[in-house]
Amino acid sequence: LTTSADEHDYHNTHYPSQSNSVNNTSSTNAIHGTSVRKLLLRARYMYRITDHMFDNTTTDLLYAQAHNDVLNARYLHTPADAIILASFVLQEVHGDYMSGIRSITELKNKSLTLSKLVSRRILETGNISKSEIELKIFNAHKALVGVNKETVRRMYLSYISCWKVFGGTFFLVSGQVNNFTEIVLSVSANSILLLDPVSMHYLAEY
């Protein structure tokens, strides 16, 4: 296998960011005409997360990275996973469930949209309507009453740390594997995975 793109190129070419929480961007300073670049800071090769690993700063950084990766479909997950994770984010951003609210548009935080809770891949290809997704998110959100921000962020991280691909560093590589000429190589502390570059389904594990 030969590497045809590094991790930065793979992520930014194949999964345009829905969130700029953890992202590389560049802009021009209008006064000085200089280029300003934000650095991409990512935790890599992580082991499965356990409670003793957490402090508030670590939690905040890993949560921002994890939520960004979920939104941009770097982690293969089901609509059921997406709904649970979205309920965690809703609790983190909005707070406790308010009786009678059945749509995200009814929340006071008008910047919060369904696309900031659920990946575009789930919204566009899942066998479930957006209105049904919203209803299920709020039903899951009810169970989180009283959970504070730090705790719900840890719950989010603990949930996704069970996934095989969690903490992986991704590379787009060329080579003949299962009739694919290009695949995604995910290297984590626990395994090496070969992934379908479009669906992110597992092709092989080592």
Structural domains of the chain in order of their starting residue, each with its CATH number: 2-205 (1.20.80.10)
Largest distance between two CA atoms of the chain: 55
> Residues near 4 by Cβ (< 8 Å), separated by ≥ 6?
172, 173, 174, 182
Strand partners, 117: none
pLDDT value, residue 40:
53
pLDDT value, residue 17:
39
pLDDT value, residue 49:
60
**Per-residue model confidence as pLDDT tens for the chain (206 residues):** 434 444 444 444 343 334 433 443 333 344 444 444 444 556 665 555 655 556 778 788 888 888 988 998 888 888 999 999 999 999 999 999 988 777 888 887 777 889 999 998 899 876 888 889 999 999 999 999 999 999 999 999 989 988 888 878 888 888 777 777 788 888 887 788 888 888 788 888 88
pLDDT digits 0-9 by tens, 70-94: 998 888 888 999 999 999 999 999 9
Predicted structure pTM score: 0.72
Where in the chain does DSSP place strands (E)? Answer: 2-5, 26-28, 35-37, 169-177, 180-187, 192-195, 202-205
Identify which of 193, 198, 164 has the alpha carbon closest to the alpha carbon of residue 180.
Answer: 198
